[in-house]
Chains A and B, each alone.
Chain A
C-alpha cells in the first residue's frame, strides 16, 4: 500500500491534476472479491504478477464487480439475490455511491459499463413476474437510474460489453428464483437459457437458446472477443452424471457446444464457474470449482488440457496466459501447454470469490 500512500502524498502536493486512472490504484490489471483470513470481505486489485494492488473493504460477501474502462472505479455487487451495489473509488477505498435495486427488483451480481464509460448496466430480476431486466444507471449523474430494458427471458446473469464495441451480451440463466425462497429454483422443467445481444440502447440484436433437449443447461457466465465471439459457461441443473457439454461458443448467430473428453468433462461435475478467452482470443479457459479443475480449449481446435486445483473459479485473460484465482488464495497462470500448466504466481491469505475481472487497460491478451 506504499504506492497508494505515495500517491496520496503526491495528491496533496499537486496543484493541477489529471483525471485519476487505474494507475492511481496501484496499477492493477484485474479485480476480484475475496474473504480475508479474519473473515472480513473486500474487493482486491491484482497485478499481472499476482501481487495485490489495492484492498477496499466490503460490508458483506462480494461477488462480481464491474470495472470502469478508464477511471479507477469499480461497482461491487452483493451476492445474489442482492439488492444493492457499491461504487468504489479504488484509489482510497471510498464508497462513492450506493445503488439500490428498484422496488420489487434484485440484482444478479453482474454488470458492465458502456463503451464511453458514462453508463452502467446491471442484470436484474423483476421479482413479481420473474422477468429479466437490464437496469441503466448514469455515471455522469451520480449513478442515477435512468432506464431499463427487458431481456425477454428469465434469470439474466453475467453481462458484458463486447471489447471495442458498444454491443452488450447478456447470459440468460433461465432459472426463476424468488428472494423469499433464497436460491431455490422454481422452474427447472420449463427453463430456457440462452444468450442475448443488445445495443446499449436496449435494442435486441440477436438471441440464441440452448437446445430443447438440454434446456436445463443454465448459461450463466460469458467471455467475449473483439469479433463478437462469445464463450459461454453453463451449469447443468440435473444429475451431474448426465451433464451435457458445459462450454458453448456463440458465433455467426449460432450456439455451438464444445465436447470436452470424458475424464475432464466428468471432473467438472456439471458445473462451470467462470470462463475466459485468452491468448489473443484463440483459447478458452473454463473452471469448475466443484471439480477443482480448469480446462483449456482451442477456439478452433477443441480440447487441449485440464489442470487440477481445488476450489479454482476465477479466470481471466492475462499476459502470457490466463490468470486463475481460487478459494485457497492462490493466483496461477495457465500456460496451457501441458496437463500441469498451472504456474503459481502468488499465495495470499485470502479466499478469492467466484470471478476474476480483467480491467480494460490496454495490452492485448
Chain B
C-alpha cells in the first residue's frame, strides 16, 4: 500500500544531517512520486477496462488516489503546464458539476467515451478521481453505457498520469539546474521557492478545504461537503497528504526540524483517534472536537513549516496570507 510506502520513506529520511535540498526533493520525492502515480493509474485503467464495479476496482481506485495524493501538492511543473489539476481532482464542487456532467453524458449516451483521446475534451468535472468516485460509489446511472463510462474515465486518467510522469523526466532538470539560461528558474532560490510554495499550499489546502469545508460552523456543520466522502476516504486523504508533505519537507530541508516533526507526530496521533473516515462526525459534538483538534494540529504544522523551513531559507510565503487585515 502507498501509505506504508510513504511511512517508510519518511522514516528513512530521518537521520539528521542527511543531504537535502532541491535536487534531493526532486529525485527523492517528486520523481518516485509521479512514477508511482503513473503505475497505479495504469493499473486502475487496466482493472476498469475489465470491471466497472467490485472490490478489485475499488482497491485499484484507492491505490491510485493515494498515489495522486503523493504528488497533488506540486503546484508547478507538468500538471500545471498541461492544465491537468482539475482533470485529476475536480473538488470542491459546491454546485455538483460532477454529478450533472456525468448525468448529461449518461442520458445522452454520448459516444465521446468510445475514444479515450476524445474523453480528455469533456468537461473536467466529468474527469478524474471524483468523477470515478461518483461512478463507483454513487452512480447516477447503471447499465452498459455507465459501465463503459467508468472505463473511459479511468483510461483518460491513466493517460494523463503517464503524461505527467513523462513530463517530469524532462522538467526535473529545469528544477535541479537553475541558472540565467533556464527558462523557469533563474536561480536556486527560485526553485526553492517553488518547492516551498508547494509545501505551504498543500498544507493550506488540508486546513482550509479538506477540514474547514466539512466543519462549517458548530451550529451548521457541513458533512456532505467532505472531500471524497462517498468513497469514505475524507480522513485518509488528509493523512496521506500529510505523509506526502512530511516526506517533501524532509527531503527539502537540510536543517533539523524538531518542532515540525513533533507537530506532524501530533497530527498523525489525532488522525488515529477519529472514527468517521468520511468526516460525518462533524455533526456529532464528541467527534467534532477531534476533527477540530486535527485542524488546529495542521495549523501548527503550517506554522512550524514557516518557522523551521521557510524562515531559515529566507522564504516567507504567508507573511500576508496568514496575517489578514
> Is B276 in contact with chain A by the CB < 8 A criterion?
no
B13-21, B49-57, B109-117, B314-322 - interface stretch: B314-322
Q: Given the known A-B contacts A239-B216, A241-B92, A241-B94, are A349 and B314 also in contact in the complex, defined by CB atoms under 8 Å?
A: yes
> Is A211 in contact with chain B by the CB < 8 A criterion?
no
> Is A152 in contact with chain B by the CB < 8 A criterion?
no
Which residues from 245 to 289 on chain A have a C-beta closer than 8 Å to any C-beta of chain B?
A: 269, 271, 273, 289
Contact A109 B325 (CB under 8 A): yes
Contact A328 B317 (CB under 8 A): yes
A183 to chain B: closest residue by CB: B324
A37 contact set on B, CB distance < 8 A? 314
A313 contact set on B, CB distance < 8 A? 320-321
Which residues from 275 to 325 on chain B have a C-beta closer than 8 Å to any C-beta of chain A?
A: 314-321, 323-325
- A183 vs B324: C-alpha distance when bound (angstroms): 10
Q: How many A-B residue pairs have CB under 8 A?
A: 68
> Is A146 in contact with chain B by the CB < 8 A criterion?
no
Place the interface of chain B in its size category: 20 to 34
Could you say which of B201, B212, B319 contacts A353, with CB atoms under 8 Å apart?
B319
> Is B213 in contact with chain A by the CB < 8 A criterion?
yes
> Is B197 in contact with chain A by the CB < 8 A criterion?
yes
Contact A354 B208 (CB under 8 A): no
Could you say which of A220, A239, A290, A351 contacts B316, with CB atoms under 8 Å apart?
A351
> Is B193 in contact with chain A by the CB < 8 A criterion?
yes
- A10 vs B92: C-alpha distance when bound (angstroms): 62
A80 to chain B: closest residue by CB: B325
Contact B320 A354 (CB under 8 A): yes
Contact B321 A289 (CB under 8 A): yes
- A196 vs B156: C-alpha distance when bound (angstroms): 54
- A290 vs B204: C-alpha distance when bound (angstroms): 9
Contact B325 A327 (CB under 8 A): no
Could you say which of B92, B216, B321, B324 contacts A327, with CB atoms under 8 Å apart?
B321
- A79 vs B201: C-alpha distance when bound (angstroms): 25
Contact B314 A353 (CB under 8 A): no
Question: Which of B213, B225, B314 has its CB near the most chain A CB atoms (within 10 A)?
Answer: B314
Q: Given the known A-B contacts A241-B94, A327-B316, A328-B315, are A354 and B321 also in contact in the complex, defined by CB atoms under 8 Å?
A: no
Contact A327 B213 (CB under 8 A): no
A239 contact set on B, CB distance < 8 A? 216
> Is A124 in contact with chain B by the CB < 8 A criterion?
no
- A312 vs B316: C-alpha distance when bound (angstroms): 11
The 8 A CB mask of B196-215 against A (1 = contact, 0 = none) is 01001100000010001100
> Is A215 in contact with chain B by the CB < 8 A criterion?
no
SS of B interface (majority): loop
B94 contact set on A, CB distance < 8 A? 241-242
Which residues from 30 to 74 on chain A have a C-beta closer than 8 Å to any C-beta of chain B?
A: 35, 37, 63
> Is A24 in contact with chain B by the CB < 8 A criterion?
no
Contact B216 A311 (CB under 8 A): no
CB distance from B88 to the nearest CB of A (A): 15
> Is A326 in contact with chain B by the CB < 8 A criterion?
yes
Q: Given the known A-B contacts A37-B314, A241-B92, A311-B316, are A292 and B201 also in contact in the complex, defined by CB atoms under 8 Å?
A: yes
- A122 vs B315: C-alpha distance when bound (angstroms): 33
CB distance from A70 to the nearest CB of B (A): 28
Contact A240 B208 (CB under 8 A): yes
- A311 vs B92: C-alpha distance when bound (angstroms): 22
The 8 A CB mask of A221-255 against B (1 = contact, 0 = none) is 00000000000000100011110000000000000
- A269 vs B317: C-alpha distance when bound (angstroms): 16
Could you say which of B208, B213, B316, B324 contacts A328, with CB atoms under 8 Å apart?
B316
- A79 vs B216: C-alpha distance when bound (angstroms): 29
Contact A327 B314 (CB under 8 A): no
- A274 vs B99: C-alpha distance when bound (angstroms): 36
CB distance from B234 to the nearest CB of A (A): 16
A20 contact set on B, CB distance < 8 A? none
The 8 A CB mask of B135-171 against A (1 = contact, 0 = none) is 0000000000000000000000000000000000000
Question: Which of A109, A328, A329 has its CB near the most chain B CB atoms (within 10 A)?
Answer: A328
CB distance from A173 to the nearest CB of B (A): 10
> Is A364 in contact with chain B by the CB < 8 A criterion?
no
CB distance from B322 to the nearest CB of A (A): 8
- A271 vs B213: C-alpha distance when bound (angstroms): 16
B321 contact set on A, CB distance < 8 A? 289-290, 292, 310-311, 313, 327
A329 contact set on B, CB distance < 8 A? 316
CB distance from A344 to the nearest CB of B (A): 9
B314 contact set on A, CB distance < 8 A? 37, 349
Contact A353 B320 (CB under 8 A): yes
Which residues from 190 to 248 on chain B have a C-beta closer than 8 Å to any C-beta of chain A?
A: 193, 197, 200-201, 208, 212-213, 216, 225
B204 to chain A: closest residue by CB: A290
A312 to chain B: closest residue by CB: B320
CB distance from A313 to the nearest CB of B (A): 4
CB distance from A175 to the nearest CB of B (A): 11
A311-B317, A352-B319 are known; give 12 further A-B pairs, CB within 8 A: A79-B323, A183-B324, A241-B94, A292-B197, A310-B197, A310-B200, A310-B201, A310-B317, A311-B318, A327-B320, A328-B315, A328-B317
> What are 14 contact pairs spanning A and B, CB under 8 A?
A35-B316, A35-B319, A79-B323, A79-B325, A240-B208, A241-B213, A242-B94, A269-B208, A292-B321, A310-B193, A311-B316, A327-B319, A328-B315, A353-B320
The 5 closest A-B pairs by CB, nearest first: A327-B319, A289-B320, A313-B320, A351-B319, A289-B321
